[in-house]
Structure 1
Amino acid sequence: MIKQWTKIHTYWLLGVLLATFIVYGVCYFTVIAPLQSKVSTLDKKVSMYENQFKKTESQSKESPSEELSALALQVPRESSPDDVLLNLQTIASDTNVTIDYIESANQSANQAAVQQEEEEATELNENSYSLDATASKLSDINSFLAEMTDSKRLMIIESINLQQDAKQVYLTVSFKTFYTG
């Protein structure tokens, strides 16, 4: 053993131990904790995908003709953008949302020709729209989006941009509607 252990040696030992714990703490919060959160997030994603797979598997046992007939009811024969606008206005008034701007996205001639070839094979046409809306509460925007996806007409939301300040919530949505004519 060391016969001459002094206070200085004790202080050095305590300093080294303290520095070791500090380095461990810093490493834990900068490396280990983020990795653990990633692992838990990935576990949640895996369980979500497993649940979706099981749900899809159980739905595939049901007759697909019922699903297709229900979907066909949501796709009208004509483009009818007026119906889309009326539907959106009704949804907006029911959910206390103000629609500020709606735009129908036009396609270039080259894209239209390619789409025409695809339409001949699928017989399903689409219209793209962009919508700007405001509301006083985020719950109103959520209700608007929920009713929009559950509407009598098939609407696929492509992108959502949501901004919130102290007084209002601003929403920009790009979506597609479909028709068979």
Structure 2
Amino acid sequence: MYTLQFDGLFRRIHTETSEFSGIMCYGWLIFQDERMVAQGHGGYAHWKLATSNGAEYLALIAGLEALMELKAFNELVIIQGDAKSIIEQMQNQSLTHSPRIEQFHRQARKLCRNFKNVQWNWTPRRDNHPADRLTRQALKQIRSSEPVYFAPNGDQMVPPESRKGLRPILCLSTFDPNAVLQ
């Protein structure tokens, strides 16, 4: 049995051009039975469509990709997150309305089809601290390594060609070498 815990975090980039510019940070952990076997965190910038739900989906997608690397295809996979809307959307209990979120939703659904047995579990925020800690670590690392995004005139300092689409700015993951199935 594998358990994927995920969390996302959105921080607005203050620009004159768009109210939806921001940094979307994510964190995820994977447990095999009770032992942590992988974790990761990172972040993306988007100059038009960054949201909290987008950050949550990025966390879920990164965690699902890590589960694929662990070759957990035939195992029970329990997916836990504190974003109730994402859990409900993935269970087809609610709809996505944003084209950007729909794109992330489709990508996550496609990844889920690789696993034989997936169960979804909404968990209260207070019980999702390990994943939340990783998202905050990602934000801290981005703030220190890419401070231009948080500068008052960041939209003037970042070249226009770097403001297009979803731009990865941090991606770190670690795997327990004994956990990867051969």
Normalised by the length of structure 2, the TM-score is 0.21
The higher relative CO (CA closer than 8 Å, separation ≥ 6) is in 2
User: Max radius of gyration: which structure?
Assistant: 1
Normalised by the length of structure 1, the TM-score is 0.21
Q: Which has the higher helix share?
A: 1
